[in-house]
Amino acid sequence: MNFEELGLGPEIVRAVTERGYTTPTPIQEQAIPYILMARDVIGLAQTGTGKTAGFTLPMIEILAGGRARARMPRSLILSPTRELAAQIAENFDIYGKYHKLTKVLLVGGESMGDQIKLLERGVDVLIATPGRLLDLFDRGNILLSDIKVLVIDEADRMLDMGFIPDIEKIVSKVPPMRQTLLFSATMQPEIKKLADKFLSNPRQVSVAPPASPAETVRQSLVWTSFRKKKDVLEALIKREDVKNAFVFLNRKRDVDELAKFLKAKGYSVAPMHGDMVQSVRTVTLQGFKDGKITLLICSDVAARGLDIQGVSHVFNYDIPMHPEDYVHRIGRTGRAGMAGRSLSIAARDEDEKFVENIEKLIKKTIPLETVEIEARPAKQRERAPVRTEEPVAESEDVGFVHGGDRQSRAEKFANRRQKPAVRSNRPPRFDDAVEGPDTLAGDDIPAFLRR
């Protein structure tokens, strides 16, 4: 099966071929013909399966004949995070290069004025996070009454992030005569309810999760004590041939602290978490992609879906409390058939239960390694950091795993945390945590940009 046989036109096939893709992935093979037939589709597929092209390619084909009117976009793609929205927009640029479609990315943290100007000109494809879209709708800058194709991407993640009420509100403003595509990695009852309510006689297509990172990533685990984790990380970075790496932590506050520590050691480092303003997140990510930043110290905001080729290493400075996050994190390396390497640092008396849960999920034991750490002079030796921040304060951050006879320190924190991340009557929205100014200022500017 090739792309022509799926019913895509020569311009799209040319763009796809130039990208180096000759064979559709299973989700593309299944979904594209139905989407081209104007059917509603439920796609059960994760990131990494080629699902983004699975809906962008036929959408380009569908939208190619027609013109947008001012403030009335013709299609709408809802994405849970800004980074994923940006990736979808990139897909439209790559595959739509031989079409004259216009697109706008509406995400929080970017200048509203620029977005409004683009909307005024008429848009074929609108890619948005729910919060910013509703803001602009409520201000009257956008009309959804001409939407012909609606995509709800990563519905399960929307659910995790408390976006479902926003989605319902948005869909109620879109005309009922439309084509709706819903993508989700899992089909929980809430997602099923959403699909029953908003899709009409949908075709369901599903693919197995992408090859488990367990197969493409060489994983290791190092046990140490909580207070030695920094030294262990540094020793591992020195020992490994690190071209570039994600270093994952569970807490936002620790991200900044570790970034400072590594920067002081002379590494090219930048932090990345959900409290940073979007403009800085975008610049940081670009710096990492361009090789100006070697180590990206991050919370789980960067764990899912980000598609950066050629990342040599993933370090888990903290063991994630939710085992699925481990799979997402290490999946940032070993992409596109390249060899990947992950090293996880586990603290004795704290992470046993979490490691056990991860190994249960990936159905293998992570090989153990040891590393020599340099003895530091007594004066410099650090005291174990006092944890004042409860883990998992970020709406994009990790979930919890409870259970086991012994309660580790992290579990005790997790158990204590019963209040929502954002204190308000409505469910927390990702945009709550990260809205901020659109210009770079002072310490917000990543070091590599400061001269």
| Angle CA 449–295–302, to nearest 5 | 95
- Partnered with residue 126 across adjacent β-strands are 76, 104
CB of 1 to ligand AMP, least distance (A): 10
CB of 93 to ligand AMP, least distance (A): 12
DSSP 253-286: HHHHHHHHHHHHTT--EEEE-TTS-HHHHHHHHH
Between 52 and 184, CB nearer to ligand AMP? 52
CB of 183 to ligand AMP, least distance (A): 9
- The rounded distance, in Å, linking the Cα atoms of 240 and 341 is 9
CB of 178 to ligand AMP, least distance (A): 23
CB of 154 to ligand AMP, least distance (A): 10
Run of H or E residues at 248 = strand 245-248
Question: Is 47 within 8 Å of 73 (Cβ atoms)?
Answer: no
DSSP 19-56: TT--S--HHHHHHHHHHHTT--EEEE--TTSSHHHHHH
Between 23 and 370, CB nearer to ligand AMP? 23
Decide: helix, strand or coil at residue 145.
coil
Between 48 and 340, CB nearer to ligand AMP? 48
**Closest residue to ligand AMP, based on beta-carbon distance:** 52
CB of 52 to ligand AMP, least distance (A): 3
CB of 335 to ligand AMP, least distance (A): 7
Cα of 275 vs its chain's centroid, Å: 15
Between 21 and 448, CB nearer to ligand AMP? 21
Between 49 and 344, CB nearer to ligand AMP? 49
Is residue 258 packed enough to be buried (19+ CB in 10 Å), middle (13-18) or exposed (0-12)?
Answer: buried
CB of 53 to ligand AMP, least distance (A): 4
Cα of 289 vs its chain's centroid, Å: 15
Question: Is 348 within 8 Å of 203 (Cβ atoms)?
Answer: no
* Residue 359 Cα distances to 323, 341, 437, angstroms: 8, 17, 42
| Angle CA 87–33–27, to nearest 5 | 50
Between 83 and 124, CB nearer to ligand AMP? 83
Between 43 and 131, CB nearer to ligand AMP? 43
- The rounded distance, in Å, linking the Cα atoms of 55 and 67 is 20
Q: Indicate the residue type of 333.
A: T
CB of 50 to ligand AMP, least distance (A): 3
- The rounded distance, in Å, linking the Cα atoms of 236 and 93 is 39
Between 25 and 224, CB nearer to ligand AMP? 25
Between 91 and 395, CB nearer to ligand AMP? 91
- The rounded distance, in Å, linking the Cα atoms of 80 and 93 is 20
Q: What residues make contact with ligand AMP under the rule CB under 6 A?
A: 21, 23-25, 28, 47-53, 307
Q: How many CA atoms lie within 13 A of 89 on its CB side?
A: 19
Between 51 and 273, CB nearer to ligand AMP? 51
CB of 11 to ligand AMP, least distance (A): 17
